[in-house]
Structure 1
């Protein structure tokens, strides 16, 4: 979507006082009531988000059933909780977008119905995820119940985000988050090799330094990926929109993955407080590790937010054409 005069907003002619409203396309009245840009590929976004949520649920279930004492399972669950809550948040938003894709024409002008459908979709996803955790570990006690409830809350809150009228920004956030999930998966898959590249050795100090730089680099790359995917998605979604969004919308889309990561952290700390407290009570070493992990997640979320937003603004600015001259160039004076 290339816009003239260096602006992304659709300009409309001024409406005079004696002008009669008309329903013809392209008139001011039609543009003022034009629907906002909607998400594209919502069905595929919902399917991919559900697939990733399933993978994360399987990972947490494997942690809870790992050999060893119960303390090890609780610690592993606390470590994996932010990842599965993030997957539930994106999964709820993705499924809600897919459901709205089938009924959006009748809901565009009914905010209450939009939010009811979105929340209902996310609640179903959350209940299904929570049931998979709780029923898979009936002897897990209150900690497993808290774990399932936190995951269900994440999916419901994610679906609530998809209840807004302009779903293109939410769709851009879901697409960018899925891209970041894939990048994170690849980083974990080759983590040993990457740590050696960053100088990890046999002593604990070199290992901590390598993990710090690997996390920092991963967060910056995640922000770049999130910003580029969000802009590419949003540009395609608004290609035929009657009112293309201005630059702050692209900024929000690029920063949306970081916002979701920070929202994940809030949900994890509030809903999963009991699980995190149990993990910290295992030993002093576990308490220090949890504190370091909490700080690392917040720093990573902030980096993804700022780098993603800046990347989106730069990428969007590169698509703008130079402002056209308002007046024709002056002709040289004749002798």
Structure 2
């Protein structure tokens, strides 16, 4: 039996429609059905000025590094949430490409290869429908014109430049609907919220890098270099070290490599869900079985957790204290 033809995503409009269908559970995904992202998404940056004739400045190069950083962070959150950085092999697989054309400087950033690789990595970790929602949601956040326009619109409002930039940032009815769809995707997959913030940081870096340009055109939105300079810039958010000690339910346990486990946790005391790693090298098999039973039975346990948070989201968490005695005795935590 021949494999089904893939769903070809070649434009923002197609991505939005397929994403809408996936969110509404109207999409049929038979075995072998895949996404073809060979032509989408891309971002085009056109720079004019004395320093731009088929070349880019060091500042633009640094901005492109910020774009890659946003891709890398999305990969870690979705594929390897207990990791701090990509391996060399992962870096090669997730690298975005950027080409520069002559005649001013036209920089085309292609995310299709990275998103195709992400689709492969998520197989077995999510349902096919959730993979579609996650990958297309991330693609729209990274490369859709409407997201770039909304970003510039919000910066223009913060800088008191809404009237001056009204034409550039006006959203059509279709673009407003597209934003609504991607907002629904972020509600379904919280990692996309952090991805949007990271890509906004990258877009901010692109605007800052154009301070010496006569004009910059970011994915169809044209600004003068002076306008780009005057948009309000927010400093990059930095993560904070926190303790998240408390009573949790274990909703899932996975064993990504020898010597550790990754626990999906839900707090019983506040609205908080995240993944945390646990060193299991000193545990006997009976303890590992208890861990599995705690997940199955939704046993509340008091845990001591060291974590880092960014913009209110837990980006990395490690369990440093586990009430094994209570688990072994079958007792509920004292709190």
TM value normalised by structure 2 = 0.32
Higher-strand-fraction structure: 2
Higher-helix-fraction structure: 1
Rg larger in structure: 1
TM value normalised by structure 1 = 0.32
Relative contact order (alpha carbons < 8 A, sep ≥ 6): 1 or 2 greater? 1
